[in-house]
Chains A and B, each alone.
Chain A
């Protein structure tokens, strides 16, 4: 059972009475289900959004809408719809270049030295939004000659909508900002449409990237283990306690010696269990200790 699921059940049991659904209750709902927290400045927009969805559902009072959401599973239609409204899908190719440089120059060579020859690497872009980050990882892995294409990139996001976009792999000209010409020429295909120009990820790259819609808090249920987890600009939306929960969950998804790369300034003050920080300027990263690896598996 995921933490999110448990929390959601708790929320169902301790559901407030109809009359008094406060901001606190809404925040708890988001916190328990997704770990999301809101800044004070976002509160009016949040309440407006809730109001909009409530009306669209044809409900007159917030309590009824709240009850409806509580009755739904985490993947329920109404909940997903509401969630779409609070998520920020900002992303771009090779956003925070330093992290990608570390991947290319340190992480991949290190993993290749550590792993058995011919090992297959698994990279995960956790919170991939419209997929540019996952494709960026794939571009680097693809261009890495020593790796020889033995890798899979996974991209996940809680929003189903952006996952659809990511799977399509078609981007407008503005999304290409920050993408080196070499990568663009090799991995993107220019396509003319009725409305203008679009750039489509070439099938060769697209088939190496798998996308799925999952809640990161339930990442511990997500069976594969990865050599690299890329989680950028995600934790900034999470409440401190949720950050700790999430990082512990992500740590269990790393193979021994695997790397967790966070966005600049992200992450907790003390590093998660079983992870040791890597010291590269401008990059926030952890490596799963190898000692753990040498312990016999249960």
Chain B
């Protein structure tokens, strides 16, 4: 049987079927076991119920018998109604129990004789009771037949109970046997199911795979034997089929590669020759030349020669270029190193210069501040000089006023002197008058003396007048002296006033000179203030300029520092570039070139390592 199912699918399907079958078998077995168990339980329960009913009936029959005795006894002694009622109840209970026994399947077989006996006993007991209750002598026949009927009932009920127990035991045994059989049947069914499953697996899974593997192995064995023509026939669309197809393709390829022995040998020989010719290249010898033959390696040799020629040219160029790079780098490096140290030096100088200029700026700023202070001091001096000049002017004015005042006073004093002169003349006149008065008084006193007693009173008056005249003369003399003194003093004052006036005029002149000097000072102060202001302005301008220079210097020094750092970086880059060039040189140096192509690069080419 050929199947196109893949192994994977096949295994999957088989597993599915097996699982289904197993599930089916398990459920069937479970069902049968449970069925058997149910039957068993029902049988056992029925047998037990029959046995129990039979036993219960036995007990009820005994109760009936005992109640019958009591009822009979009561009938003989007292009344029968109450006991008879109890007897009837016991009879009904026995009847009911018997009905239950009849209801069981097994009880139906044993119940009829019991029913008959019970009915018989009831009949006999009724007869006996009637006789006993009538108070007549009970016929022994009746008594014995009643007793017999009860005994029969009792015996039969005991037998029925024993029989029911026997039946129950027998049912149990039968059911045990039945259960054992069912288990055996289930086990057998499961075993058969497994056998069927194994068969299925073998049929669906193992057989087709084994068949395909067998084909593959056959081909492989053929290959082992050297038979390259063996192929896998019609490979299926399965995994092993795919292997078969690959094997077929591989074999086809291999077949196409296989050449005839002679052809192969010849080719090998010419290849060996070619290899020998060009083996020098592996050691870097680019001077080799392969012989161009007519066979198939000829073309290879031709290509090889062309390639070597190109390689020679390229390597030669590389060697030249790297040599030149090395040389240029050497120069460049020394230049850069010089430049870097120069830049560093320059940066250091710029820093020094910027610090110095910074200090200069501070100094100029300080001078400028001081100049500002000086300018204000000069201004103050100028103001003071101005004040001074004004004060001097005021002084001169004051002096002028004094001079005028003095001259006015002198005039007045002079007038005073003139007035004194007039006073002196008046005093003189008064003196004359007094003198004349005195003479007149003398004459009058003489006249009075001549008149005698009559002139005595007149003489007193004349004396008085004389005394007055004397006093007037005296006063006039004093006045004259005073006037003379006044005149002298006035003359002195006049002279002093004249001196003062001269002095005042002199002082005024000096003050004038001071005024002029102060005005000059004012002028000089003004000039000074202007000059200092100019200095201050200039210093401020310088300060601004030096700030600017300081700033520029700072910027320059930072730029220079950067430059120095960059130059260093460049030097380092050149160094590493040099290393690369050296490496390149070393790597192409092992190639051997014909002499005219390139000069050999010296292995001692100076290495470029940036010193900093």
Contact = CB atoms under 8 A, between A and B. Distances in A.
B373 interface: yes
Chain A facing B: main interface SS? loop
Given A39-B365, A174-B349, A236-B366, A89 B374 contact: no
A41 B373 CA distance: 21
B361 A39 contact: yes
Contacts of B374: 269
A265 B370 CA distance: 8
Interface in B331-359: 348-349, 352, 355-356, 358-359
Nearest to B362: A236
A41 B361 CA distance: 10
A88 B355 CA distance: 7
5 closest A-B pairs (Cβ-Cβ)? A236-B366, A41-B547, A90-B359, A236-B362, A90-B355
Given A90-B355, A269-B370, A269-B374, A237 B362 contact: yes
B379 to A, nearest CB: 14
Chain B facing A: main interface SS? helix
Contacts of B356: 90
Contacts of A174: 348-349, 352
Contacts of A263: 363
Interface in A157-207: 174
A146 B496 CA distance: 71
B367 interface: yes
Interface residues on B, range: 20 to 34
A269 B377 CA distance: 10
Given A41-B547, A269-B373, A269-B374, A88 B366 contact: no
B357 to A, nearest CB: 9
A274 interface: no
B471 interface: no
A240 interface: yes
Given A240-B369, A269-B370, A233 B359 contact: yes
A231 interface: no
Interface in A77-108: 88-90
B551 interface: yes
Contacts of A41: 361, 544, 547, 550-551
A263 B550 CA distance: 21
A90 B361 CA distance: 12
Interface of A: 39, 41, 88-90, 174, 233, 235-237, 240, 263, 265-266, 269
A174 B374 CA distance: 38
B358 A266 contact: no
B367 A90 contact: no
Contact of B362 (A39, A89, A240): A39
A88 B359 contact: yes
Contacts of B365: 39, 236
16 contacts: A39-B362, A39-B365, A39-B543, A88-B355, A89-B355, A90-B356, A174-B349, A233-B362, A236-B359, A236-B362, A240-B369, A263-B363, A265-B366, A265-B370, A266-B366, A269-B374
Contacts of B348: 174
Contacts of B550: 41
A214 B506 CA distance: 65
B275 to A, nearest CB: 60
A236 B369 CA distance: 10
Nearest to B366: A236
A39 B349 CA distance: 24
Nearest to B546: A41
Nearest to B374: A269
Interface in B353-401: 355-356, 358-359, 361-363, 365-367, 369-370, 373-374, 377
A39 B550 CA distance: 13
B543 to A, nearest CB: 8
Contacts of B369: 240
Contacts of A233: 359, 362-363
Contacts of B358: 88, 90
Nearest to B345: A174
A90 B354 CA distance: 10
Contacts of A265: 363, 366-367, 370
Contacts of A269: 370, 373-374, 377
Interface string B427-469: 0000000000000000000000000000000000000000000
Contacts of B361: 39, 41
